[in-house]
């Protein structure tokens, strides 16, 4: 059995691996010291492109255009870059066994890789409808999107099913970005999700109402409060219908499913401490096992700002956690300083002509501000989340339908508190910087009305 040995091994060849490699090169790594082992066939790339420009009908993004680290304004690391820097890229190689005590990884082909220091960067995988026993979920043309191979299969189907019907199952990130991408490709799109509004993990009903109306204006049909319970297929095994729990049947040539992700920690189960579904780390991304680090989607790390352990499934954190782990490794070897990770959560999305950014924590009382009319030429609106406010007044009357037999509705007046989260649709770079600053500084507010009335000006003056 072939055996290779490295000082540092990164298992997983996604976003975090790419940014870690760049940091290693920056800090100094000798030829042959570092290897990246990836199940994918290509060098690390900016995964967010797969649900956006990769699916454009015209001038779509293609590799090598979006290899890391272009996503954060850095230089592209092409396959040759790894060679030039003496970093071994071991592609199309899935690790199927990890022995942390023996410091050994074994691939599906039986190769064995020894390391002194390991960085776990296996990211997430998709949750499949078959996992919930949904009948017919293995039909052809039902797609999930995680890796470039998945995106290629979807692109092929979009070509084959020109002007056909697409059903999107899920109302989260994948659902909203893919709903838009398929509509732009001129498919007739329906979206189905169980919650009362889209992206409930982050959006308030007020934020979601804007996107739902915008999508409806683009001709996308949204079906809420129900789930897909089965699929029909034709004689070729291709999906033809999606059956919903509420009895509706939707015709479909293509189905895209985005019902959540799951961090890929199985290889390490029982060998390393876990927390909140991820591998538990300290502020330097060290796990409970000496010389083993975990970064990106798989890491559950101390979020200093909120004094709690969190796992974050977004690209900004995958880049920064990877750089932090490499700095910590190098600092432990006496090269360069490293400070505690002090992360400000940052998520974003783009679809159609829309683009939003969110910073901080979406807890407390949300306050919507700005122009959230989906028919506006350039809608610009946002939300702040205010925490620790004091209720100083309360009002209650029946309901606010004057025609109700027994109206009941009410209001609270909240005073003080601080801004802990900020969301902005349609912001320019300065405005996005301003909301990031607000979420970091957590300025006090006098009342919810104050931030509502001031809107973006509240952030801009901080």
Task: List residues near ligand FDA by CB under 6 A.
Answer: 11-17, 37-40, 47-48, 50-51, 94-95, 121-124, 145-147, 264, 267, 296-297, 313-316, 318, 347-349
Neighbours of 245 (CB within 10 A): 13
Is residue 18 within 8 A of residue 29, CB to CB? The reply is: no
| Segments of 63-123 assigned E as strands | 88-90, 95-99, 104-107, 112-120
- Compute the radius of gyration of the chain from its Cα atoms: 24
Q: Quick one: which of 253, 274, 313, 361 contacts ligand NAD (CB under 6 A)?
A: 313
Cα-based distances in Å from 461 to 105, 182, 367, 416, 454: 53, 40, 18, 18, 10
Distance of closest approach, residue 420 Cβ to ligand FDA, in angstroms: 19
Least distance CB 21 / ligand FDA (angstroms): 11
Pairing of strands 228-233, 274-275: unpaired
Segment interacting with ligand NAD, rule: CB under 6 A, options 172-180, 234-242, 280-288, 356-364: 172-180
Interacting residues with ligand NAD between 239 and 268 (CB under 6 A): 258-261
Residue 314 lies near ligand NAD (rule: CB under 6 A): yes
3-class SS at 300? strand
Nearer to ligand FDA by Cβ, of 244 and 265: the residue is: 265
Note whether 388 binds ligand NAD by CB under 6 A. Answer: no
319 binds ligand NAD (CB under 6 A): no
User: Would strands 278-280 and 299-303 be described as parallel, antiparallel, or unpaired?
Assistant: parallel
Instruction: Label residues 123-142 b or e (16+ Cβ within 10 Å = b).
Output: bbebbebeeeebebbebebb
Nearer to ligand FDA, 13 or 389 (CB): 13
CB under 5 to 8 A by kind: which of ligand NAD, ligand FDA, none does 154 bind?
none
Is residue 175 at the binding interface for ligand NAD, with CB under 6 A as the rule?
yes
Q: Which does 121 bind (CB under 5 to 8 A by kind): ligand NAD, ligand FDA, none?
A: ligand FDA
If the CB atoms of residues 202 and 267 are measured against ligand FDA, the closer one turns out to be: 267
Nearer to ligand NAD, 314 or 327 (CB): 314
Q: Measured between alpha carbons, how far is 424 from 428 in angstroms, rounded to an integer?
A: 10
Q: Site size for ligand NAD, by CB under 6 A?
A: 26
Confirm or reject binding of residue 195 to ligand NAD (CB under 6 A): yes
Residue where the block lists tokens 């949300």:
366
**Which residues, other chains included, contact 311 with Cβ-Cβ below 8 Å and sequence gap of 6+?**
263, 276, 277, 278, 297, 298, 299, 300, 301
Chain contacts with ligand NAD (rule: CB under 6 A): 51, 124, 169-175, 177, 192-195, 200-201, 227-228, 258-261, 313-314, 347, 349
């Amino acid at each position: 059995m072939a055996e290779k040995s490295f000082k540092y091994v990164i298992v997983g060849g996604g976003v975090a691996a790419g940014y870690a490699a760049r940091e290693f090169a920056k800090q100094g790594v000798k030829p042959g010291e570092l290897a990246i082992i990836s199940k994918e066939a290509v060098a690390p790339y900016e995964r967010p492109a797969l649900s956006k420009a990769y699916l454009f009908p015209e001038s779509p993004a293609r590799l090598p255009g979006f290899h890391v680290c272009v996503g954060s304004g850095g230089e592209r690391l092409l396959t040759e870059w790894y060679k030039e820097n003496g970093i071994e890229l071991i592609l199309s190689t899935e690790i199927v066994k990890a022995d942390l005590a023996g410091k050994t990884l074994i691939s599906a082909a039986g190769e064995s890789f020894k390391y002194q220091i390991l960085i776990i960067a296996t990211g997430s995988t998709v949750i499949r409808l078959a996992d919930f026993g949904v009948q017919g979920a293995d039909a052809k043309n039902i797609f999930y999107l995680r890796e470039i191979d998945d995106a290629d299969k979807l692109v092929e189907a979009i070509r084959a099913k020109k002007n056909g019907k697409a059903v999107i199952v899920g109302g989260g990130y994948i659902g909203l970005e893919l709903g838009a991408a398929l509509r732009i490709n001129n498919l007739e799109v329906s979206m189905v999700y169980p919650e009362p509004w889209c992206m409930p993990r982050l959006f308030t009903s007020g934020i979601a109402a804007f996107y739902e109306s915008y999508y409806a204006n683009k001709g996308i049909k949204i079906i809420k409060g129900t789930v897909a319970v089965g699929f029909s297929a034709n004689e070729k095994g291709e999906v033809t219908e999606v059956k919903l729990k509420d009895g509706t049947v939707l015709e479909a040539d293509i189905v895209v499913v985005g019902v959540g992700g799951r961090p890929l920690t199985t290889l390490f189960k029982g060998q390393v401490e876990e927390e909140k579904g991820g591998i538990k780390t300290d502020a330097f991304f060290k796990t409970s096992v000496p010389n083993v680090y975990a970064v990106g989607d798989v890491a559950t790390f101390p979020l200093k700002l909120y004094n709690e352990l969190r796992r974050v499934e977004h690209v900004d954190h995958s880049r920064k956690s990877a750089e932090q782990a490499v700095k910590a490794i190098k600092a432990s070897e006496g090269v360069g300083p490293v400070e505690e990770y002090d992360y400000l959560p940052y998520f974003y999305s783009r679809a159609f002509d829309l683009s939003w950014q969110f910073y901080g924590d979406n807890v407390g009382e949300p306050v919507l501000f700005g122009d959230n009319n989906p028919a506006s030429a350039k809608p610009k609106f946002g939300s702040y989340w205010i925490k620790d406010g004091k209720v100083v007044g309360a009002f209650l009357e029946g309901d606010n339908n004057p025609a109700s037999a027994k109206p009941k509705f009410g209001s609270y007046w909240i005073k003080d508190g601080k801004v802990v989260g900020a969301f902005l649709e349609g912001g320019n770079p300065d405005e996005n910087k301003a909301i990031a600053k607000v979420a970091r500084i957590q300025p006090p507010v006098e009342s919810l009305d104050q931030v509502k009335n001031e809107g973006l000006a509240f952030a801009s003056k901080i």
